[in-house]
Amino acid sequence: MNGSSAMEAKELQGRVARLHYQHNMTHHEVGELLGLSRVKVTRLLAEARRSGIVEIRIHSPQAPFGDLEAALTAEFGLGQAWVAPSFSDADRTYDAVGMAGSECLSALVPSARTVAVGLSSAIAAIIPHVRPEPVPGLGLVPLAGSWGGLSRGISPHELVLRLGTFFQGETYHLPAPVLASSPGMGRALRADPGVRETLRLAADADLLVAGVGGMDRRSGLLIDRLSEREQAALDEAGAVGDISGRFFTRDGTPVTGDVDERVVGLTLHELSAIPRRVAVSFGPHKVEALRTALGAGLMNMAVTDVNTAQALLKKPSGKQKEQHKQHGQNGKREQDEKRAERAEGDSDMKRKGTAS
């Protein structure tokens, strides 16, 4: 869209908004007056809100799902929770969670010194709803590397740049992919001075905003990038989800191995040391991962939707608990065996070196 077209679009949004909000005309009446369809009027009004032409201020502290937010906070010992409505239309739920996420940022960012931002499509949903608000001295830094290829607006670096524009903060770049081609390359990239410095800044952040991914192919950005062999290895190790590529088990412990060595970003231990940690996550395929992240204290605040919040508060059955326990034990046993094999291999190498 060129400059004149963009100006015309904004002018039309303004005309439609005034007729609807100031003159109380229905979408149908506005459409008839301006020669537009009702659907077009609805779309223009939505665009007017997103672009800031229309601002709706509600002078009440009452959240629509205050009881549910209080229940989540009490159940998981959270600092705060934000709950958005759920819809049968996935796009509407995505948009609603993005709106709740923008309220979260408006509440937390002004008191932050440095914000670390993780890999997440859920965080990308927040961007259209963020209201520009300068925060002097603010720094924004990616929690992990970014994707190569075509921009999809969901890499930590892209999200940092967008948020930096809204809050007029200083933004930092992590010059590496989120997932290196091999464990060795991952170690080499993490040792790079530029990467190391950015990760140090991320580790020193006082606010973290990241998604929580699950293990289903529909529930995480990183899981789709892994081979079937790597996914099987994570399953065997007891992984239930990830935060910016760092996978964890049902008791919240890191899943070590080749995939973990390939990730260029903060470790699970480092990110969980950041004081305020907001999980932005929703959907049935992420419930188990989000429950673990909150229950184990990996994240201590949450932005989600009604359906996910209700699922989080529902107690697992005795059978589910036993399955979870068995799965976790199997995963821990698998990791212990792999560590023992590596230690034995190192010992053999040393003996051979001594013999030679």
Residue 164 in contact with residue 140, Cβ under 8 Å?
yes
User: What per-residue confidence (pLDDT) applies to 349?
Assistant: 42
User: What per-residue confidence (pLDDT) applies to 56?
Assistant: 79
Whole-number Å distance between alpha carbons of 207 and 211: 14
Structural domain boundaries in the chain: 8-51, 66-313
User: What per-residue confidence (pLDDT) applies to 339?
Assistant: 47
Whole-number Å distance between alpha carbons of 311 and 306: 9
Residue 122 in contact with residue 97, Cβ under 8 Å?
yes
User: What per-residue confidence (pLDDT) applies to 224?
Assistant: 76
Per-residue pLDDT of the chain (356 residues; tens, 9 = 90+): 556 677 788 899 999 999 999 999 999 999 999 999 999 999 999 889 878 899 877 766 777 899 999 999 999 999 999 999 999 999 999 999 999 999 999 999 999 999 999 988 889 899 988 988 999 999 999 999 886 544 455 678 889 999 999 999 999 999 899 999 999 999 999 999 999 999 999 999 999 999 999 998 765 667 778 888 999 999 999 999 999 999 999 999 999 999 999 999 999 999 999 999 999 999 999 999 999 999 999 999 999 999 999 999 997 665 445 544 454 444 445 445 544 554 454 445 444 444 44
Q: What is the DSSP pairing of strand 246-249 with strand 239-243?
A: antiparallel
Q: Which two tokens stand for residue 25?
A: 């005309």
Topology alike, domains 8-51 and 66-313: no
The closest of 224, 246, 255 to 118, measured between CA atoms, is 246
Place of tokens 């940092």: 160
Q: What angle do CA 99, 103, 105 make, to 5 degrees?
A: 110
- HEC per residue, the chain: CCHHHHHHHHHHHHHHHHHHHHCCCCHHHHHHHHCCCHHHHHHHHHHHHHHCCCCCCCCCCCCCCHHHHHHHHHHHCCCEEEEECCCCCHHHHHHHHHHHHHHHHHHHHHHCCEEEECCCHHHHCCHHHCCCCCCCCCEEEECECECCCCCCCCCHHHHHHHHHHHHCCEECCCCCECECCCHHHHHHHHHCHHHHHHHHHHHCCCEEEEECECCCCCCCCCHHHCCHHHHHHHHHCCEEEEECCEEEECCCCECCCHHHHHECECCHHHHCCCCEEEEECCCHHHHHHHHHHHHCCCCCEEEEEHHHHHHHHCCCCHHHHHHHHHHHHHHHHHHHHHHHHHHHHHHHHHHHHHHC
Query: Spelled out in words, what is the top-level CATH class assigned to the domain 66-313?
Result: alpha beta
Residue 149 in contact with residue 70, Cβ under 8 Å?
no
Place of tokens 């923008």: 102
Q: Residue 140: count other Cβ atoms within 10 Å of its Cβ.
A: 29
pLDDT in tens, 186-231: 999 999 999 999 999 999 999 999 999 999 876 566 777 888 899 9
Whole-number Å distance between alpha carbons of 133 and 120: 22
Question: Given 1.10.10.60, 3.50.50.100, 3.90.1150.10, 1.10.10.10, which CATH number is that of 8-51?
Answer: 1.10.10.10
Place of tokens 């039309």: 12
User: What per-residue confidence (pLDDT) applies to 158?
Assistant: 86
Whole-number Å distance between alpha carbons of 94 and 85: 10
